[in-house]
A and B are shown apart, each in its own frame.
Chain A
Amino acid sequence: MITFDVPSHLSSKRGDFINALKTVIDPELDVNIVDLGLIYRIKLDAAKMCIVLEMTLSSKFCPMGESILSAVKNCMERNFPDFITEVALVWEPEWNYEFISAEGIRALEGY
């Protein structure tokens, strides 16, 4: 479940953020990072024009880790060029398979 910290007058941006982040795919699982439950928090600082994303990875030394993190930053900067994006990698709570959404499970099951 993603926690949003977005000013009420910009709440319409929530859907845009999610849609943009859904284009970032885990290269092994071929499922987007939102449905995998890797995104924990999205904070929008309207005054500083800055988006701060808190996210995790499925493993601390995931060989794809840097690639996924840079994909998130690149994707947000491409879709929201007026904002600066900061991606913070966190390990609490530790990710497990229960974080995968119903859509993510369906994609992994091949439906």
Chain B
Amino acid sequence: MSAVSHHNPLYKIVVTHYLLAGLFFLTLTIMLLFSVGALSGHYFQPKVLALTHTAALGWGTMIIFGALYQLLPVILETELYSLRLSWFSLAFFVPGIILLIYCFWIFDPGLYMQTGSVLVLTGIILFNVNVFFTVKHKKQESIFQEFIITSCLWLTLTALLGTLMVFNFRFSFFQKDHLHFLRLHAHMGIAGWFLMLIVGVSAKLVPMFLVSKYQRKYPLSLSYYFINAALLSFLIDGYFQGIGFMTYFIVLLGAAGVSFYLFYIFRCFKSRIRKEVDLPMMKTLFSFVFLTAGILILPFILYYHLRNDPFTVNMSMLYGILVFMGWISTLVLGQTFKTLPFVVWLKHYGHLTGKVKTPVPAELINSLLLYIQFAAFISFLLAFTVGFILVSSTLKFIGVCSLIITALSYCTQIICLLLHKTKTEDYDHI
């Protein structure tokens, strides 16, 4: 026999992360509005660096941190090591991101940018200490744990290399050029942090939400080894040899790893007992289309790169849009309203169940706002991607306006959820 906790001490830290992530998302859309033109040029330029770090750190990583504080105990079946450490991590992380983004935007690679990068790195290290000690308390090992721990290691390495790159702007101690390291830094972040983490967490949550019968874990193990092998090979080969024909095989290795994961998700979906798929879950499943599209573009980027064709830059930018705005953002937009309503519901109704009739968590969401957000986001993806391919500023502008509507409806939904008033009904009056 066992007991479970009597309240949710994680409420404040989780909702603070969600709220901040929403604000960074809104900021990102406004920044995008003022830098549509910059996206037509090379990706290594101040505004694009600022946009990328707002999306990767302020939006994606911020919400993942918040969600993990709530979900780690569920996924690993143990308690979070330290709540205080999570607040310390946030205290370093937020000012660090703001400083870093501002310095990228105006491109001031001096003391403020260096301070920002060190603050971000410190916030990430504190987060990882919390995760490692949480995992240490766990008795049984699982593939989900392997994914999470490995992704945290990759995140630290990504941030460490990023910090070194910031200092290299001023002190020039790297033996090779900056773009060379930028590629390694970006892929450590995309494949090492985001992909590994998302695979690990979604592999546990998707079957839970779909009530899936599929229990086999071997596709996940294969996915783990293939993705890591591809990433390590890319880093070693990329550092010593640069991009070459060997890179095709590395991409193939990584694509195979992702395919094993997608196969697992597909089997979970096919064997689900719960037939109805709600909108947040549909968005989650939809996000995998963009992940696949992003991977399919990689061989083309390689092809143009090896021919020294300037079209490589456009393809690389499209790849970035598909990964950050297509895959990660769609996933975050979906999972936010799968997890946050539960956190809010627990606070308002956790102690009232059985005494009075309470709504279910899904009823706390404003459906209209959710549909507006979904429609606006689809409009953004279509208009922006097509505008990018056809080099149409008008379409890109329509896309960015749609993204602003998405962000506004997203933030409004979060604020409405956080301001929710308890509504109950007496059983005798039903």
Among A7-15, A26-34, A42-50, the stretch that binds chain B is A26-34
Residues of A within 8 A of B5 (CB): 65-66
Residues of B within 8 A of A58 (CB): 208
**A67 touches which one: B3, B74, B346, B362 (CB < 8 A)?**
B346
A29 to B1, CA, bound (A): 24
A70 to B3, CA, bound (A): 12
Whether B360 and A66, one on each chain, are in contact in the complex, defined by CB atoms closer than 8 angstroms, is: no
Residues of A within 8 A of B349 (CB): 67
Give the size of the chain A interface in residues (CB under 8 angstroms): 37
Whether B275 and A63, one on each chain, are in contact in the complex, defined by CB atoms closer than 8 angstroms, is: no
Contact with B along A62-77 (1 / 0, CB 8 A): 1111111111111100
Whether A61 and B345, one on each chain, are in contact in the complex, defined by CB atoms closer than 8 angstroms, is: no
Whether B273 and A100, one on each chain, are in contact in the complex, defined by CB atoms closer than 8 angstroms, is: yes
A105 at the interface (CB under 8 A from B): yes
Known A63-B74, A89-B2: A70·B275 in contact at CB below 8 Å:
no
Whether A110 and B276, one on each chain, are in contact in the complex, defined by CB atoms closer than 8 angstroms, is: yes
B77 at the interface (CB under 8 A from A): yes
Q: How far is the CB of A89 from chain B (nearest CB, A)?
A: 5
Whether B1 and A105, one on each chain, are in contact in the complex, defined by CB atoms closer than 8 angstroms, is: no
Residues of B within 8 A of A27 (CB): 342, 345, 353, 360-361
B421 at the interface (CB under 8 A from A): no
Whether A62 and B275, one on each chain, are in contact in the complex, defined by CB atoms closer than 8 angstroms, is: no
**A73 touches which one: B7, B211, B354, B361 (CB < 8 A)?**
B354
Q: How far is the CB of B208 from chain A (nearest CB, A)?
A: 8
A59 at the interface (CB under 8 A from B): yes
B29 at the interface (CB under 8 A from A): no
Residues of B within 8 A of A90 (CB): 1-2
B355 at the interface (CB under 8 A from A): yes
A24 to B349, CA, bound (A): 13
Residues of B within 8 A of A60 (CB): 2, 77
A64 to B211, CA, bound (A): 16
A59 to B211, CA, bound (A): 13
Whether B354 and A72, one on each chain, are in contact in the complex, defined by CB atoms closer than 8 angstroms, is: yes
Whether B74 and A61, one on each chain, are in contact in the complex, defined by CB atoms closer than 8 angstroms, is: yes
A88 at the interface (CB under 8 A from B): yes
B427 at the interface (CB under 8 A from A): yes
Residues of B within 8 A of A88 (CB): 1
Whether B77 and A64, one on each chain, are in contact in the complex, defined by CB atoms closer than 8 angstroms, is: no
A45 to B351, CA, bound (A): 27
Q: How far is the CB of B387 from chain A (nearest CB, A)?
A: 39
A25 at the interface (CB under 8 A from B): yes
B70 at the interface (CB under 8 A from A): yes
A61 to B211, CA, bound (A): 17
Residues of B within 8 A of A30 (CB): 360, 362
Whether B354 and A75, one on each chain, are in contact in the complex, defined by CB atoms closer than 8 angstroms, is: yes
**A66 touches which one: B6, B79, B362 (CB < 8 A)?**
B6
A2 at the interface (CB under 8 A from B): no
A25 to B73, CA, bound (A): 23
Residues of A within 8 A of B6 (CB): 66
* 16 more A-B residue pairs beyond the given contacts A60-B77, A67-B349, A74-B353, with a C-beta to C-beta distance below 8 A: A23-B354, A29-B211, A29-B274, A30-B362, A61-B79, A64-B346, A66-B7, A66-B350, A67-B346, A67-B351, A74-B355, A78-B354, A78-B427, A88-B1, A100-B273, A110-B275
Q: Which 3 A-B pairs have the closest CB atoms?
A: A74-B354, A71-B353, A71-B354
Give the A-binding residues of B (Cβ under 8 A).
1-8, 70, 73-74, 76-79, 208-209, 211, 213, 273-276, 342-343, 345-346, 349-351, 353-355, 360-362, 427
Query: What are 17 contact pairs spanning A and B, CB under 8 A?
Result: A23-B427, A27-B361, A63-B70, A63-B73, A63-B342, A64-B346, A66-B4, A66-B7, A70-B353, A71-B354, A78-B354, A89-B2, A90-B1, A91-B1, A97-B213, A108-B211, A108-B275
